[in-house]
């Protein structure tokens, strides 16, 4: 008996194997995708359920009341913290009481003879106890030889009320006291490419990022219609941080004083003065001077404030030795 072996048609068999393989891959892929969709759907359901469970206590905890007296939330300081224009106060931003929250966004514009300083950001106050803020500053040249200069820095702030109440403890002289931290980070320097400068460290700064730590004490004397605030700041910042931190002249922390004094004409209008002591860390900015201003602030409602001032920033770098002065306008919108 003989066995006849039929020749194998390789092309036909390859096509058949290919079709079987494609069906297997398609079936496996559909099964895999179906399982993935089921898993994603379940995660979405569980995530929504978790958020729903958290929403009720958070909603109750963060019930907004706008319960503070008008103007007692302060305005937005040039670094984003609640306070005056140049200096932070111990007050927590917004109008939320100890059972609530409040926040704001702001924009500040300050043109001087040779530069334009702008600042914008947002801040949130929680339980009249904790404040968090974020801001960005920009210093741009306006006239030659630094007309192309552009310095930027990001600022992240936290402030914690330690003790006292600036408004409601009128029977004692104890102020409200708060501890604050501002972390600052410089961005790339632009406009000085001809000098080969792209970072503040190339101007003599030790670092392009740094941290300010400050302690503020603020008291509002309602019978006298006065606000008095003082701050001690530990800092390495050059020009508030726009020119980096530390330098070729000095690289350690220095304690610097800042203060605000304001008279409250009525519930909606206040005027006063501010002072901010500075350091001299950089040879290229060895003439850095203290900052100061005279301001007036208008509070038409708890949702809006407008501040106008005349500010003296002193000279900025030896490349331009003129004292930089100019009008200051800041608008704050709150909730």
Q: Which two tokens stand for residue 279?
A: 């350091």
Tell me, what's the pLDDT at 304?
A: 96
The pLDDT of residue 67: 81
- Which two three-digit tokens encode residue 334? 């709150």
pLDDT in tens, 167-182: 999 989 999 999 999 9
Q: What is the mean pLDDT of residues 270-277?
A: 98
| Phi, psi angle pair for 57, to nearest 5° | -65, -35
User: Which pLDDT value is given to residue 198?
Assistant: 86
List of residues 6+ apart from 162 with CB closer than 8 A:
177, 178, 179
Label residue 22 by pLDDT band (50, 70, 90). Answer: low
If DSSP codes are grouped into helix, strand and coil, which group holds residue 201?
A: helix
Average pLDDT over residues 3-14: 48
pLDDT (tens digit per residue) in 54-103:
334 434 555 677 788 899 889 999 999 999 999 999 999 999 888 889 99
Q: Tell me how far apart the terminal alpha carbons of the chain are, to the nearest angstrom.
A: 100
Q: Are 318 and 288 in contact (CB under 8 A)?
A: no
Q: Identify the pLDDT of residue 43.
A: 39
- Average the pLDDT over 243-268 and give the result: 95
Task: Using the predicted structure, report yes or no on whether residue 230 has a pLDDT greater than 90.
Answer: yes
Residue 334, strand partner residues: 104
Task: Provide, rounded to the nearest whole percent, the portion of the chain with pLDDT above 70.
Answer: 80
pLDDT at 118 over 80: yes
pLDDT band at 32 (very low <50, low <70, confident <90, very high): very low
265-285 burial code (b ≥16 CB/10 A, e <16): eeeeebbbebbbbbbebbebb
Q: Is residue 190 very low, low, confident or very high in pLDDT (cuts 50, 70, 90)? A: confident
pLDDT, greater one: 335 or 127: 127
pLDDT at 240 exceeding the cut of 70: yes
Q: Taking the model in full, what pTM does it have? A: 0.80
Contact (Cβ atoms closer than 8 angstroms) between residue 74 and residue 106? no
Contact in structure between 274 and 87 (CB atoms under 8 Å): yes
Q: Bridge partners of 176?
A: 218
| Placement of tokens 């605000």 in the chain | 260
Please report the pLDDT score of residue 49 as a whole number.
42
> Above 90 in pLDDT, residue 295?
yes
Using pLDDT thresholds of 50, 70 and 90, give the confidence band for residue 282.
very high
* pLDDT reported for residue 270: 97
- Residue 147 and residue 141 in contact, taking contact as beta carbons nearer than 8 Å: yes
Mean pLDDT computed over every residue of the chain? 84
Task: Give the C-alpha separation, 101 to 68, whole Å.
Answer: 11
Residue 98 near residue 129 (C-beta atoms within 8 A): yes
Strands 101-111 vs 150-163: parallel, antiparallel or unpaired: unpaired
Strand runs labelled E in the chain:
75-76, 82-83, 101-111, 115-126, 130-141, 150-163, 176-186, 209-221, 226-235, 254-264, 269-276, 291-301, 304-314, 324-334
* Higher-pLDDT residue of 82, 52: 82
pLDDT in tens, 150-166: 999 999 999 999 999 99
Say how many C-beta atoms besides its own lie within 10 A of residue 86's C-beta.
24
Taking residues 45-51, what's their average pLDDT?
Answer: 40
Determine contact, residues 235/254, Cβ cutoff 8 Å. yes
pLDDT of residue 31: 47
Q: How far apart are CA 243 and CA 209, in angstroms?
A: 10
Contacts (Cβ under 8 Å, ≥6 apart) of 274: 84, 85, 86, 87, 258, 259, 260, 261, 291, 292, 293, 295
Whether the pLDDT of residue 201 is over 60: the answer is yes
Burial class from Cβ neighbours inside 10 Å (0-12, 13-18, 19+) for residue 32 reads exposed
Whether 125 contacts 93, CB under 8 Å = yes
Sign of CA dihedral 138, 139, 144, 145: negative
Confidence of residue 15 (pLDDT cuts 50, 70, 90): low
Instruction: Note the pLDDT of residue 205.
Output: 93
* Mean pLDDT of all residues in 33-51: 41
Residues comprising the chain, all counted: 335
Lowest mean pLDDT across 46-50, 178-182, 216-220, 250-254: 46-50
Count of Cβ atoms closer than 10 Å to residue 14 Cβ: 10
Q: Dihedral (C-alpha) 122, 77, 155, 96: value to the nearest 10 degrees?
A: -40
Following CA atoms 43, 46, 48, 52 in sequence, which dihedral angle do they give, to the nearest 10 degrees? Answer: -160
């Amino acid at each position: 008996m003989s066995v006849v072996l039929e020749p194998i048609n390789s092309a036909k068999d390859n096509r058949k194997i290919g079709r079987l393989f494609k069906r297997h891959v398609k079936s496996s892929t559909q099964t895999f995708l179906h399982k993935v969709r089921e898993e994603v759907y379940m995660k979405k359901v569980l995530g929504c359920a978790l958020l729903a469970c958290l929403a009720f206590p958070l909603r109750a905890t963060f019930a907004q009341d706008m319960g503070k007296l008008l103007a007692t939330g302060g305005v937005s300081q040039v670094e984003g913290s609640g306070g005056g224009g140049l200096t932070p106060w111990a007050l927590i931003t917004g109008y939320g009481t100890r059972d609530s929250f409040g926040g704001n966004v702001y924009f500040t514009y300050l043109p001087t003879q040779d530069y334009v300083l702008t600042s914008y950001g947002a801040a949130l106050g929680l339980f009249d106890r904790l404040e968090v803020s974020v801001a960005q500053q920009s210093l741009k040249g306006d006239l030659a030889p630094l007309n192309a200069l552009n310095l930027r820095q990001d600022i992240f702030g936290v402030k914690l009320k330690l003790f006292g109440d600036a408004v409601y403890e009128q029977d004692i002289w104890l102020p409200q006291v708060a501890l604050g931290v501002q972390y600052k980070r410089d961005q790339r320097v632009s406009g000085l490419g001809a000098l080969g400068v792209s970072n503040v460290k190339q101007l003599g700064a030790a670092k392009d990022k740094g941290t300010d730590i400050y302690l503020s004490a603020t008291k509002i004397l309602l019978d006298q219609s006065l606000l008095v605030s003082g701050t001690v700041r530990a800092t390495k910042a050059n020009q508030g941080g726009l020119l980096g931190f530390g330098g070729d002249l000095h690289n350690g922390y220095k304690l610097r004083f800042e203060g605000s004094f304001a008279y409250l004409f009525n519930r909606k209008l206040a005027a006063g003065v501010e002072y901010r002591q500075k350091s001299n860390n950089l040879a290229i900015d060895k003439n850095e001077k203290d900052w100061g201003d005279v301001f007036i602030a208008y509070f038409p409602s708890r949702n809006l404030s407008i501040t106008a001032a005349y500010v003296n920033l002193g000279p900025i770098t030896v490349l331009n030795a003129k004292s930089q002065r100019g009008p200051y306008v800041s608008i704050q919108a709150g909730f």
